[in-house]
Amino acid sequence: MSLADAAPDRFDRRDLLWALAAVVLVNVVGGVPAVLGGPDSAWFEGLIEPAIYPPGWAFGVVWTLLFTLLGVAVYLVASEGLDERRVRVALGLFALQFAFNVAWTPVFFTLQRPLAALGVIVALAVLIVPTTWAFDRVDRRAAALLVPYLVWVLFAAVLNYRFWVLNA
């Protein structure tokens, strides 16, 4: 029986541990690039910031929340059974788009290439759409959990564009 079919009282410790593991994994994989080379560099501090740039602390809060939602979404999809093709397709698309997510930080901050990073984040935004669709085919709740992520990535793409324009 899948989690989606289970009554609320049937959600056991094992389900909770798998969900927690997915959340932690997505947060660790998603957060590592920022720890290795994020916005604390002299190069970044020397850039002209767009007027819409949020306070620095907001990024950690927002990304942690979004990665947590993504982890729950991954758990919901995976709990439907890895033997199902639609689950494997959804998780494969998730891994592909997440690779672009992870790649953006080193391209922007370490390589100091805002235009190349813009290409990465636009590709990421494009890939989130079929990922959301594929998640929806497995679990509508999981797809809904990706919507705030898409909105934030679109905002981040605008920020990236503005950084490029202001500092070219």
What whole-number distance in Å separates Cα of residue 166 and Cα of residue 168? Answer: 6
Model pTM? Answer: 0.90
Return the closest-CA partner of residue 117 out of 28, 43, 23: 43
Question: Which CATH code for domain 10-167?
Answer: 1.20.1260.100
b/e map of 26-56 (b: 16 or more CB within 10 Å)?
bbebbbebbeebbeeeeeeeebeebeeeeee
Q: Do the beta carbons of residue 87 and residue 78 sit within 8 Å?
A: yes
List per-residue pLDDT tens for the chain, 168 residues long. Answer: 455 554 455 668 999 999 999 999 999 999 999 888 888 889 999 999 999 999 999 999 999 999 999 999 999 999 999 999 999 999 999 999 999 999 999 999 999 999 999 999 999 999 999 999 999 999 999 999 999 999 999 999 999 999 999 999
